[in-house]
């Protein structure tokens, strides 16, 4: 498994016609960090995540995944990335096991049955693996979707609103899973509105407003106050 | 190269598994295609006789309308939970995903044609068993050409709001050569005195268009899928 130690975002902008969804975004972060993209709706969090995932090409600027770029790295860079989107990326007509097996094969994971069984166990759904995903609650789907994103042991994990619709227990389990991936040296970038969960979880918070970066915060605790001040500035 | 076909196979198998569970696309497509043929037969056939050369045209109209419906639906499914993003985010050859989707669509249209061709033969007294191999070749190569372009356009339009309107608007003009080949080749076999050399000529032309369309689609799929 190839890896990278630093993610460098340099002067990234994304325009849709004349509308600027993102402009002048620059930051760096290192493997082993949990980075939060914080901001109100329309701040550009999801757009930035999609650009980091190589699903969107920036209109200007560049992103370095270690010494590689999305254009130069292609499939190799995509293999380093695991993404949990707001829409979960699961087929409701397939069982949890079939979903995980399909994506394992797409990612050319070595031992598919063992990987899928381990993923189901980590999701707490070992006994529900053969049930259709359409019958799962939001929390259960979220857990399967997270394990789907982590099947190939990605080094960059991108999460779009991962705490939406989760109860306290599911949120705590997700936080613990992210901490475990952080200890394994993964870089985690997540977009969230949930400041309570983000406070204490993030090593670095990037404040976005109207498509622009209005601050970077590396202090621990008291995130909500600093976020409010950044948004008022 | 084996990785390419492995990914295409898994995408096709996934599409088939979803379809077997829901039967949504097959049933709606089949119902639509059979309705088209029945409506034409009520309108055209008089005292058990249809005008010459009509059967071939109606067969291809039904295939193209049903195919357009199936193309839209197969990518609509990928839109529900944004699974198309998950597919193109995988570290696989993106054209392999296109090939997988195309194969799944061809299989579905093949099943529809298995019902449709005998129905056209029955209702329009078309001699479908006179040249079965040549008729099969026309159907296979015609369907490949039509589906190759349609799969690309359906993938391109998946995030566009007016995709249901735009798909036929873009698809039909570009696939006119395939439709002409399919209709003229099939008509050559269905006429009172079948014209074998003419049917062979149209089969050759369909193969040519298939090569052109599949090559262009493989070449353009990756750029059009990156927003």
Sign of the CA dihedral running B135, B136, B142, B143 = positive
Instruction: Tell me whether residues B91 and A55 touch, CB distance under 8 A.
Output: no
Instruction: Tell me whether residues A105 and B86 touch, CB distance under 8 A.
Output: no
- Read off the tokens for A113: 């049955």
* Per-residue pLDDT band at B135 (split at 50, 70, 90): very high
Instruction: Tell me whether residues B92 and A56 touch, CB distance under 8 A.
Output: no
Residue A213 is assigned to a structural domain of this protein: yes
CB atoms within 10 A of CB A1: 8
**Which chain B residues are within 8 Å of A90, Cβ to Cβ?**
81, 83
Q: B203 CA to chain A: closest CA distance, Å?
A: 35
pLDDT at position B98, please?
94
Residue A73 is assigned to a structural domain of this protein: no
> What is the rounded average pLDDT of the residues A96-117?
95
**Which chain A residues are within 8 Å of B10, Cβ to Cβ?**
102, 105-106
Lowest-confidence segment of A79-83, B47-51, B138-142 by average pLDDT: B47-51
Helices (H), A74-222: 75-78, 96-106, 112-122, 138-150, 168-183, 195-198
Residue A141 is assigned to a structural domain of this protein: yes
Domain count along chain A: 1
**Which chain A residues are within 8 Å of B80, Cβ to Cβ?**
87, 92
| Most A-contacting residue of B18, B26, B90 (CB-CB within 10 A), to test interface | B90
CB atoms within 10 A of CB A231: 16
| Most B-contacting residue of A1, A15, A48, A55 (CB-CB within 10 A), to test interface | A55
**Which chain B residues are within 8 Å of A98, Cβ to Cβ?**
14, 17
pLDDT in tens, B46-56: 877 888 779 99
For residue A115, the 8-state DSSP code is H
Residues of A in CB contact (< 8 Å) with B are: 50, 53-57, 75-76, 78-79, 81, 83, 85-94, 98, 102-103, 105-108, 132, 148, 152
pLDDT in tens, B73-95: 888 888 887 898 899 999 988 99
**Which chain A residues are within 8 Å of B82, Cβ to Cβ?**
85-89
Residue A129 is assigned to a structural domain of this protein: yes
Residue A74 is assigned to a structural domain of this protein: no
pLDDT in tens, A220-232: 778 888 888 888 8
> What is the rounded average pLDDT of the residues A128-134?
94
What is the domain range of residue A223? Answer: 32-50+82-232
Q: A163 CA to chain B: closest CA distance, Å?
A: 17
Q: A167 CA to chain B: closest CA distance, Å?
A: 21
Report the alpha-carbon distance of residue B187 to residue A126 in Å, rounded.
58
Of the candidates B83, B78, B95, which has an alpha carbon nearest to the alpha carbon of residue B8? B95
The ipTM, to two decimals, is 0.87
pLDDT at position A188, please?
96
pLDDT in tens, A55-78: 888 999 999 988 888 766 688 889
C-alpha atoms less than 13 angstroms from C-alpha of B20 in its C-beta half-sphere: 9
The CATH number that applies at residue A162 is 3.40.50.300
Residue A79 has its nearest CB partner, among B10, B91, B93, at B91
Report the alpha-carbon distance of residue B95 to residue B221 in Å, rounded.
6
Max mean pLDDT among A83-87, B11-15, B89-93 falls in B11-15
> What is the rounded average pLDDT of the residues A96-110?
95
* Per-residue pLDDT band at A1 (split at 50, 70, 90): very low
Q: Which pTM value belongs to this model?
A: 0.89
Distances (CA, A) of B163 to A53, A101, B75, B155: 25, 31, 11, 10
Residue A81 has its nearest CB partner, among B14, B89, B226, at B89
For residue B161, the 8-state DSSP code is T
Kindly tell me if the per-residue pLDDT of A2 is higher than 60. no
Kindly tell me if the per-residue pLDDT of A182 is higher than 90. yes
**Which chain A residues are within 8 Å of B9, Cβ to Cβ?**
none
pLDDT at position B108, please?
95
Residue A177 is assigned to a structural domain of this protein: yes
Instruction: Tell me whether residues A75 and B92 touch, CB distance under 8 A.
Output: yes
pLDDT at position A224, please?
84
- Read off the tokens for B7: 């990914």
**Which chain B residues are within 8 Å of A78, Cβ to Cβ?**
89-91
Residue A11 is assigned to a structural domain of this protein: no
* Per-residue pLDDT band at A3 (split at 50, 70, 90): low
> What is the rounded average pLDDT of the residues A99-127?
94
> What is the rounded average pLDDT of the residues B152-165?
86
Contact by Cβ (8 Å): A27, A9: yes
> What is the rounded average pLDDT of the residues A152-158?
94
Distances (CA, A) of A195 to A9, A198, A233, B224: 24, 5, 18, 37
**Which chain B residues are within 8 Å of A89, Cβ to Cβ?**
81-83, 85-86
Q: Decide which of A138 and A97 is more confident.
A: A97
For residue A68, the 8-state DSSP code is E
Residues of B in CB contact (< 8 Å) with A are: 3, 6-7, 10-11, 14, 17-18, 21-22, 77, 80-83, 85-93, 226-227
Residue A163 is assigned to a structural domain of this protein: yes
pLDDT in tens, B202-216: 999 999 999 999 999
pLDDT at position B227, please?
65
Tell me what the pLDDT averaged over chain A comes to.
Answer: 90
- Read off the tokens for A72: 């130069």
């Amino acid at each position: 498994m190839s890896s990278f130690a630093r993610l460098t975002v340099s002067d990234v902008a994304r325009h849709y016609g004349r509308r600027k969804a993102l402009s002048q975004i620059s930051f760096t972060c290192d493997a082993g960090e949990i980075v939060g993209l914080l901001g109100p709706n329309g701040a550009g969090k999801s757009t930035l995540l999609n650009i980091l995932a190589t699903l969107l090409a920036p209109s200007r600027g560049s992103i370095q995944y270690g010494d590689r770029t999305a254009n130069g790295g292609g499939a190799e860079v995509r293999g380093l990335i695991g993404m949990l989107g707001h829409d979960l990326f699961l087929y409701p007509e397939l069982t949890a096991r079939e979903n995980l097996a399909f994506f394992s094969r797409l990612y050319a994971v070595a031992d598919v049955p063992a990987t899928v069984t381990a993923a189901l166990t980590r999701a707490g759904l070992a006994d529900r693996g053969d049930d259709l995903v359409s019958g799962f609650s939001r929390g259960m789907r979220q857990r399967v979707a997270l394990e789907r994103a982590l099947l190939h042991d990605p080094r960059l994990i991108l999460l779009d609103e991962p705490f939406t619709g989760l109860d306290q227990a599911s949120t705590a389990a997700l936080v613990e899973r992210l901490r475990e991936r952080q200890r394994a040296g993964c870089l985690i970038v997540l977009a969230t509105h949930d400041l309570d969960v983000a406070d204490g979880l993030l090593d670095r918070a990037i404040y976005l407003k109207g498509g622009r970066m209005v601050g970077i915060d590396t202090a621990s605790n008291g995130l909500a106050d600093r976020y409010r001040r950044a948004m008022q500035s | 190269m084996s990785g390419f076909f492995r990914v295409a196979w898994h995408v096709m198998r996934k599409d088939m598994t979803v379809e077997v569970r829901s039967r949504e696309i097959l049933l709606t497509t089949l119902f639509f295609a059979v309705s088209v043929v029945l409506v034409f037969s009520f309108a055209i056939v008089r005292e058990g006789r249809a005008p010459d050369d009509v059967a071939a045209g109606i067969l291809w109209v039904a295939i193209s309308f049903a195919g357009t419906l199936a193309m839209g639906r197969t990518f609509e499914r990928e839109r529900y939970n944004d699974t198309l993003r998950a597919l193109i985010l995988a570290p696989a050859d993106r054209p392999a995903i296109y090939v997988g989707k195309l194969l799944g669509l061809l299989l579905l249209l093949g099943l529809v044609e298995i019902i449709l061709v005998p129905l056209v033969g029955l209702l329009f007294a078309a001699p479908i068993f006179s040249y079965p191999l040549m008729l099969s070749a026309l159907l296979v190569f015609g369907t490949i050409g039509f589906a190759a372009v349609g799969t690309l356009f359906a993938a391109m339009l998946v995030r566009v709001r007016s995709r249901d309107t735009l798909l036929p608007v873009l698809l039909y003009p570009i696939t006119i050569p395939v439709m002409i080949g399919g209709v003229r080749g099939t008509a050559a076999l269905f006429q009172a005195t079948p014209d074998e050399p003419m049917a062979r000529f149209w089969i050759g032309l369909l193969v040519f268009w298939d090569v052109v369309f599949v090559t262009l689609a493989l070449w353009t799929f990756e750029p059009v899928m990156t927003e």
